């Protein structure tokens, strides 16, 4: 599982370093090239709702191997892409495979760990991701500089083969639940609705009609899903009863916002160093690496604090560091020294490492029954990826509008965009302040066992 999650995370961090070269080769504007990241996140958000059902229906081992095979095949298609549209479509397919990897790993390990150790277990789950974020930018820069951007996708092939082979030998077989059924109607309402919503946000620069039509269509589909989920006699794709508790509602909002500023910033930082400062892909990769190092150093501290004190203190500290590090990048027209920019990235990384484990652990510490954990994991991961898609699309639109007719964005354009990133961090900080102190079960916000199936609203 570690190898599989490493492959998916490595792909995300490497791709961000290659965007500038891909844009140049295909002669594609910034607001189009962002779909290489947004399309991948939308693919993830689309397949996550199916993951819980698929694990129940076919077993975790079978679905893990299927996800790895799909991710491998899509990586090959990305490597041989002949145009920006073909690469974007291949990235969506890659997201279908990558989207199943993390939820399967989280659900399997959370079931085995129990609530007492879930903070540390979630930290362990994120180790491959954080390690990939440390070496990914540098490795991506090396590949782009010495070979071609296509090798950032070919690199996935041997990793996936090794991960699949190890899983086939070591992952125990589990008994599928043949009675599990897919909420097909809900899936057909939810996934296109989310995609249309993100697509509408990405068209802000094209006028009101270009935005309102897809957003309105997406809103209608999502409203239809809400009606369907509350009336269907069968388990829906996302069980809306999970949101009946204030704890889960608040965490869902935080995760949506977190996805926006985290994945959106992954898109922005390498572009800034390459476009505004004129650095090579390799140098840009080295410059964004401190963020991954900061994450790795603080990862276990956040998980331990969540187990001992509840998630709120670590999340507040982490988001505070994120806000501090991001504010440095709102002052780019003043030409801050490189050491300050790199230090700010390390501070941001420390903030992510401090809050990401507690944020994920908080879902499982909220008193949900064990049987609800896979569905809760599905909901939280969907919200994170949807937030990432919306954030990336929004930041790309802001950056493009600031750059105007210029071929590349300048320091002032990036500075304006980073104010939006900082705003989302502050919003997450405010939402976190509304969480109760300590563990939610102790604070009385968790559903009682008798209400586990349909917890009452508080």
pLDDT, tens digit (0-9, with 9 covering 90-100), for 29-62: 877 887 888 888 788 877 877 877 787 778 777 8
Mean pLDDT of 282-308: 82
156, 144 in Cβ contact below 8 A?
A: no
- Residue 205 confidence class, pLDDT cut points 50, 70, 90: low
User: What is the Cα–Cα distance from 422 to 333, expressed in whole angstroms?
Assistant: 16
* One domain, residues 417 and 317: yes
Of the three residues 211, 234, 257, the one that is the final residue of a domain is: 234
pLDDT of residue 443: 43
Q: Is residue 80 part of a domain?
A: yes
pLDDT of residue 454: 42
* One domain, residues 111 and 200: no
Q: Judging by beta carbons within 10 Å of its beta carbon (0-12, 13-18, 19+), is residue 233 exposed, middle or buried? A: exposed
Burial 204-226, CB ≥16 within 10 A → b, else e: beeeeeebeebbebbeebbebbe
pLDDT, tens digit (0-9, with 9 covering 90-100), for 329-377: 999 887 888 899 999 999 999 998 888 878 877 776 666 666 666 677 7
Q: For Cα atoms 319, 324, 325, give the angle at the middle one, nearest 5 degrees.
A: 100
Mean pLDDT of 427-433: 93
CATH number of the CATH domain containing 25: 1.20.1250.20
109: pLDDT strictly greater than 50: yes
More confident residue, 419 or 374: 419
pLDDT of residue 300: 74
73: pLDDT strictly greater than 90: yes
User: What is the Cα–Cα distance from 392 to 266, expressed in whole angstroms?
Assistant: 9
Q: Which candidate, 381, 420, 380, 378, places its Cα nearest to that of 397?
A: 420
* One domain, residues 120 and 208: no
Residue 292 in tokens? 């991954």
324: pLDDT strictly greater than 80: yes
Find the helix or strand (DSSP H, E) in which 224 lies. Answer: helix 208-231
**CA separation, residue 294 to residues 17, 342, 446 (Å):** 19, 11, 33
Residue 179's contacts (CB-CB under 8 Å, 6 or more residues apart) are none
pTM of the shown model: 0.78
- End-to-end Cα distance, the chain: 38
Least confident of 68-72, 377-381, 437-441: 437-441
Q: Is residue 64 part of a domain?
A: yes
pLDDT of residue 1: 67
* One domain, residues 83 and 99: yes
Residue 124's contacts (CB-CB under 8 Å, 6 or more residues apart) are 109
* One domain, residues 226 and 253: no
* One domain, residues 212 and 326: no
Least confident of 102-111, 192-201, 235-244, 277-286: 102-111
pLDDT, tens digit (0-9, with 9 covering 90-100), for 261-291: 988 888 889 889 988 888 888 888 888 888 8
* One domain, residues 209 and 148: no
Q: Which candidate, 11, 1, 65, places its Cα nearest to that of 37?
A: 11
Q: Is residue 58 part of a domain?
A: yes
Q: What is the CA radius of gyration of the chain?
A: 21
- Residue 458 confidence class, pLDDT cut points 50, 70, 90: very low
Q: Which candidate, 364, 355, 341, places its Cα nearest to that of 247?
A: 364
* One domain, residues 150 and 223: no
Q: Is residue 295 part of a domain?
A: yes
320: pLDDT strictly greater than 90: yes
Q: Is residue 458 part of a domain?
A: no
* One domain, residues 27 and 75: yes
User: What is the Cα–Cα distance from 251 to 387, expressed in whole angstroms?
Assistant: 13
Q: Which candidate, 87, 3, 9, places its Cα nearest to that of 44?
A: 9
Residue 218's contacts (CB-CB under 8 Å, 6 or more residues apart) are 192, 193, 194, 195, 196, 197, 199, 200
Q: Which candidate, 175, 174, 166, 164, places its Cα nearest to that of 65?
A: 164
Tokens 């409203």 correspond to: 223
Q: Is residue 189 part of a domain?
A: yes
User: What is the Cα–Cα distance from 246 to 157, expressed in whole angstroms?
Assistant: 43
Mean pLDDT of 304-332: 87
What is the span of the domain harbouring residue 62?
2-171+235-447
140, 17 in Cβ contact below 8 A?
A: yes
Mean pLDDT of 383-404: 83
pLDDT of residue 451: 42
User: What is the Cα–Cα distance from 313 to 294, expressed in whole angstroms?
Assistant: 18
pLDDT of residue 440: 59
Mean pLDDT of 412-440: 88
Of the three residues 234, 257, 273, the one that is the final residue of a domain is: 234
Q: Is residue 178 part of a domain?
A: no
**Domain total for the chain?**
2
* One domain, residues 311 and 339: yes
* One domain, residues 21 and 141: yes
- Residue 452 confidence class, pLDDT cut points 50, 70, 90: very low
Q: Is residue 439 part of a domain?
A: yes
* One domain, residues 134 and 273: yes
């Amino acid at each position: 599982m570690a190898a599989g999650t490493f492959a998916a995370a490595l792909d995300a961090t490497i791709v961000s370093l290659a965007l500038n070269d891909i844009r140049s080769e295909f002669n594609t504007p910034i607001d189009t090239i962002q779909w290489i990241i947004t399309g991948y996140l939308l693919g993830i958000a689309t397949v996550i709702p199916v993951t819980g059902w698929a694990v129940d229906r076919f077993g975790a081992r079978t679905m893990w191997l299927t996800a790895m095979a799909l991710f491998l095949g899509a990586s090959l298609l990305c490597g041989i892409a002949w145009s920006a549209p073909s690469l974007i479509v291949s990235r969506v397919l890659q997201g279908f495979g990558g989207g199943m990897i993390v939820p399967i790993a989280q659900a399997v390990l959370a079931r085995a760990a129990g609530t007492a150790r879930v903070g540390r277990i979630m930290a362990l789950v994120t180790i491959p991701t954080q390690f990939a974020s440390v070496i990914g930018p540098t490795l991506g820069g090396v590949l782009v500089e010495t070979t071609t951007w296509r090798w950032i996708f070919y690199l996935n092939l041997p990793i996936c083969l090794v991960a699949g082979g190890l899983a086939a030998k070591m992952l125990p077989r589990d008994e599928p639940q043949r009675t599990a059924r897919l909420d097909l109607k809900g899936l057909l309402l939810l996934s296109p609705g989310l995609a249309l919503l993100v697509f509408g946000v990405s068209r802000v620069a094209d006028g009101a009609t270009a935005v309102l039509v897809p957003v309105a269509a997406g809103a209608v589909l999502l409203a239809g899903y809400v009606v369907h989920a509350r009336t269907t006699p069968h388990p829906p794709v996302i069980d809306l009863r999970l949101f009946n508790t204030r704890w889960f509602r608040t965490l869902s909002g935080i995760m949506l916002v977190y996805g926006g500023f985290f994945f959106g910033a992954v898109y922005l930082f390498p572009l800034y160093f390459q476009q505004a400062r004129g650095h090579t892909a390799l140098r840009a990769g080295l410059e964004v690496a401190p963020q991954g190092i900061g994450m790795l150093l603080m990862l276990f501290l956040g998980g331990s604090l969540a187990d001992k004190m509840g998630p709120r203190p670590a999340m507040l500290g982490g988001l505070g560091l994120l806000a501090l590090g991001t504010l440095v990048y709102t002052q780019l027209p003043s030409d801050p020294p490189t050491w300050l920019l790199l230090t700010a990235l390390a501070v941001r990384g420390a903030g992510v490492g401090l809050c990401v484990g507690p944020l994920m652990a908080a879902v499982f510490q909220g008193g949900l029954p064990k049987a609800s954990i896979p569905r809760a994991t599905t909901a939280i991961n969907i919200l994170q990826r949807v937030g990432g898609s919306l954030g990336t699309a929004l930041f790309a639109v802001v950056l493009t509008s600031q750059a105007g007719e210029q071929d590349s964005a300048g320091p002032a354009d990036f500075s304006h965009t980073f104010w939006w990133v900082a705003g989302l961090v502050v919003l997450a900080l405010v939402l976190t302040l509304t969480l109760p102190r300590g563990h939610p079960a102790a604070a009385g916000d968790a559903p009682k066992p008798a209400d586990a199936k349909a917890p009452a609203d508080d």
